[in-house]
Structure 1
Amino acid sequence: MECSNCSSARPIEDQGTLLFVSSQLIPLNKITQLFTNSRIFTVDSNQVFDDGQPHTVTNGVNYFIPISYLSREELLNGLKSVYDKLTSSEQLDIHIEIDESNWSLAPTKSKAVALPQFFARMKHHNLVTMMTNGQFTSHMQPIIDMQSQRVFGYEFLLRPSAGQAAFNPFELFSVAQQTGLHSFLDRAARISAIQTSALHLPQGIKRFVNFLPSSIYNPNYCLSHTFKAIEDNKLDPRDFVFEVVETERIEDIGHLKKIFAIYQKQGMQVALDDVGTGFATLEVLPELAPDFVKIDRGLIDNCDQDENKQQQIIRIIEISHSFGATVLAEGMERKEEWDFCKKHGIELAQGYLLGRPAALPLGTASIEI
C-alpha cells in the first residue's frame, strides 16, 4: 500500500522540464500560448497538434504538454502569470508532474502536484527544501508531576537543526499545508521525536509527541511508519503519548476516535491538547476520552487571579476525572499558578517555570518549586 500524501516532494531543479496535465483543453491552451511567446520556456512541438492545441492522451481522459524552463526564478514568474489567467476551477484542474520517469503515453494526475500546491512550493522554496531535506530536530520540554515534583516526561517540539536557518514551527506547518506536504512533515516530525527520545531518555519517561489528525488519511498505513520507528529504536510503546496538536480543528470526531483507538491498540496513550479554548471544547471530552487532557495555556495564565478561568479549569478537571483522564496544565510561568493548579487536583504541569524546550533533557530527575 502507498500513500502519496505521506511522500516527500521531488526537488524543483534550477532548470528542467515539467509535464502539465489537465482534463480540460482550454487551460492548457492558455498555458501553451503564454509559454510559447516566452524566451524562457520551450514548449515541446511534438506534443502539440497542427492547430497549436496540446495533445490528448489515447484514453481521452487528460491533455498534457511538456514545457522546459531555464531558470527557477523565471518559472515562478511564469507560473504567476499562468495563475492569474486561469479560473479557480482551472487552477485546481491543472497538475504538474516533475519526475520524467513517471511520464507515459497516458499521463494521469495521480502522481502529479496540483497547480496551487506547486505554485506554493515555488514561493516557499527554502522552507520546502528544509522540510524535504529533514533540516530539523526535536527539542524537549519537561512535564512535571505536581505531587512529587519529579520529571514525568517531555513534550517534543520541532526546531531547526544545528547550523540551519531559524523557522517558526507554526509557519512551517502552514506552508506544509499550502504545499500539500503536511502529511509528510507531520510524519517526519513524529519520527524525529522518536529518534531523539531514543538518544536521550531512559525507559519509563513519557514522550509526548504531536500529530495532525488531518494528515492521517488511512490510519493503519499512515501510522505504520511511526510504529516501525518505535520498534526499530527498541523503545517501549507504553512510554509514548500522542497528542492532537494545538490549532488543529476537530472536524471529524469519528476519524479522530479511530486514530486514538489504533494508537491505544499498540499500547500507547493519547492526549487532547488546547482544551478550554479554540476547538478542543468540553463537549468532545467524554466522547473522545483521551488518556491525558492538556488545559490550554490561555486558561492557566494568571488563573490564580481570575475567577472565570478558575471555574473553567475546575470544570475541565471534573469532566476529565469522570472518565479517568490525567490532567496537565500548560504554559505555567508563575508559582501562584502552580499552587492553584496543585490545590485543585491537576496532576501534571508544563511551562517556563519548570523548564524551557532544550536539545537535552534536564540534568536532574526532579525540580524545586
Structure 2
Amino acid sequence: MNQCSSCTALPDLESSGYLLFTHTAFSVLRELHYHLLRSGYTSYIQDNTLHYYYSAVQTLGPFLNFIEHNLPGDLAGLKGAWTGKNQQTHANMIHFQQLKERVSQPSFMTVINDQQFTHHMQPIIQLNTGEVMGYEFLMRPRADAAQFRPDQLFSFSQQSGLQSLLDNRARIASIKTSAKYLKPGIKRFINFLPSSIYDPDHCLLSTFATARSCGISTKDLVFEVVETENFENPGLLLRIFQTFQSHGARVALDDLGAGYSTIDVMEELQPHYVKIDRSLVDRCDQDIKKQQRLEKIVSRAGSYGIITLAEGIERSEELNCVRELGFDLAQGYLIGKPKAVPEAPSISGCSE
C-alpha cells in the first residue's frame, strides 16, 4: 500500500552526518554560507543545496541557533533535512523550524518512529441500562519505553510536522489493541486530528486495511474528531466524515460546548455521536444554567437523530442529572478509569 511521506517512518538522526539546506532565494543560501565560513563552520554549496557536516548530535542545537540568529528575516524560505555520512538517503526537506524541533527533542522522535506508545480503554455506558457499549482509546507511554505526556507528544508532532505520522499510527494502534480485547458489537471510539488528513480517500486507506486484517467490522469503529484547533476548512472536515461513513464507520464530535465545537457545527456535520465537554457536565446538578444548556443540546441533537454522550462524569449526582436530562451515554472516572485491559476481555485475532 502506498503511503505519502507524511505518514511514513523517518530515518534516524545519526550520531554524525550532514545537514542539508535549500532556500527559495539562492542569494540567501549564499549569505548563510558566508556567515558560516566567517564563524568557523565548514560548509559547501552543491546543486543549490548547502551541506554542513556535524560530528556530534549535541552540536546541532547551537548550530541551528546560529542560523536563526543570522537569518531572522529569511527563515520562512529556508528548508532543511539530515542525512548520514554517505549523503545517499535523507528525509524530505522540511521547514527550518520543524527541523529544529525534531533535532532538539530526539526522544519524542524515537517515541513516534518506534511507536513507543500503547492505548488504554475507558468504558462508555448506556444510561438506560448501565451496560458498556464501547470504549474510548487513550494514548499512554509503554511501560518499557521513555515516559511522556500525550499532550506534549502531540504538541511536538504539530510543531515538527509529524502530526500526520503520529495520528495515523495512533489510529492503527488503537484498532489493533481493540482486536485483542473487545468482542464484536462493542464500539471503539478512536480520536483523530482533522488537520492530519489532507486527502481522506488516500490518508485513511491504511486505517481501513488494518480493520480488515483484524477482522473488525467498520460499524464498530467510531472516529472522534479532537477539535483543539479551529475549523479552518469545514469543507475538508465534512469530506473526512463522509469518507469514514462511506466505509461503514461512525463519527463523533468531541467537546461540544467548548471552543469551536458548537451546536451550529454539530448541525452542519451531523455526526452519529456528540460528546459534551466536561466543563458543562462538571457540577451540572448544582447549576441551573448548565442544565438549561445541556437540555438544549439534547433537544437539538435529538432532532437530527444524534446520540448524546456526557463525558467527565465523576459524581453520582452528575450521572443522575444527565440521565434525567435525556442523555444517551456517559463516560468518566465514576464509571471507569482508562485501563490497559478491560475487566472481561474477549480475545480475537489480528494480523500484524
TM bracket (short chain)? over 0.9
- Taking the aligned partners of 2:293 and 2:153, their CA distance within structure 1 comes to 32
State the alpha-carbon separation in 1 of the partners of residues 22 and 316 from structure 2. 60
State yes or no: 1:228 paired with 2:215: no
Does the alignment pair 1:266 with 2:266?
no
Equivalent residue for 2:125? Answer: 144
TM superposition score normalised by structure 1? 0.88
Instruction: Find the counterpart in structure 1 of residue 15 from structure 2.
Output: 14
Q: Secondary structure at the match of 2:268?
A: helix
Distance 1:360 1:185 in 2: 23
Shift of residue 33, structure 1, vs aligned partner:
2.8
The letter for the 2-side match of 1:73 is Q
State whether structure 2 residue 43 is matched by structure 1 residue 43: yes
Aligned-CA RMSD value: 1.8
What is the CA deviation profile of residues 149-189 of structure 1, one whole-angstrom value per residue up to 9, with x for unaligned ones?
Answer: 11110000110012223211111111100000000000011
Provide the aligned length of Structure 1 versus Structure 2: 342
Residue in 2 aligned with 1:70? 55
Match for 2:81 among 73, 94, 97? 97
Name the SS of the counterpart of 2:138 in structure 1. Answer: strand
* Aligned twin of 1:106: none
Cα deviation, 1:101-156, whole Å, max 9, x if unaligned, reads: 358xxxxxx92121110001112221121111110011100001111111110000
* Distance in 2 between residues matched to 1:334 and 1:85, nearest whole Å: 56
After superposition, where does 1:227-246 map in structure 2 within 5 Å? 227-246=208-227
**Maintained 8 Å contact 1:117/1:180:** yes
Cα distance between partner residues in 2 of 1:364 and 1:19: 50
3-state SS of paired residue (1:26)? helix
Q: 3-state SS of the aligned residue for 2:335?
A: coil
Q: CA deviation at 1:35?
A: 3.2
Secondary structure of 2:274's match? strand
Deviation per CA, 1:267-317, whole angstroms, max 9, x where unpaired? 110000000111101111111000001000110000000111111111110
Match of 2:67 in 1: 82
Aligned partner letter, 2:88? S
* CA distance in structure 2 between the aligned counterparts of 1:229 and 1:23, rounded to whole angstroms: 40
Compared CA separation, residues 73 and 31, structure 1 to 2 (3 A): farther
Q: TM-score, normalised by structure 2?
A: 0.93
> What residue in structure 1 maps to residue 28 of structure 2?
27
8 Å CA contact retained: 1:30, 1:85: no
**Letter of the structure 2 residue corresponding to residue 201 of structure 1:** L
Check whether the contact 2:271–2:306 (CA below 8 A) recurs between aligned residues.
yes
1:61-88 Cα distance to aligned partner (Å, 9 max, x none): xx21221111111111101110111134
Alpha-carbon separation, structure 1, partners of 2:151 and 2:345: 30
Instruction: Give the match for residue 60 of structure 1.
Output: none
**1:330 alignment counterpart:** 311
Superposed displacement of residue 38, structure 1: 5.4
Contact 2:183 2:345 in 1 (8 A): no
In 2, Cα distance between the equivalents of 1:71 and 1:362? 48
Corresponding position of 2:349: none
* Equivalent position SS for 1:170: helix
Q: What are the residue-to-residue correspondences of 1:115-264 with 2, within 5 Å?
A: 115-264=96-245
The 4+ residue runs of structure 1 with deviation greater than 6 A are none
**1:279 paired residue among 248, 257, 260:** 260
Shift of 1:31: 2.8
Preserved CA contact (<8 Å) 2:273 2:306: yes
Give 3-state SS (helix, strand or coil) of 1:101's partner.
coil
Query: SS at 1:98's partner residue?
Result: strand
Segments of structure 1 that go 5 or more residues without pairing to the other structure are: 45-53, 58-62, 104-109
**Distance across 2 between alignment mates of 1:8 and 1:94:** 23
SS at match of 2:172: helix
CA distance in 2, matches of 1:74, 1:306: 56
- Determine if contact 2:182/2:345 at 8 Å carries over to the other structure: no
Q: In 2, are the aligned partners of 1:8 and 1:181 still within 8 Å (CA)?
A: no
Q: Which residue identity does 2:76 align to in structure 1?
A: L
Structure with higher Rg: it is: 1
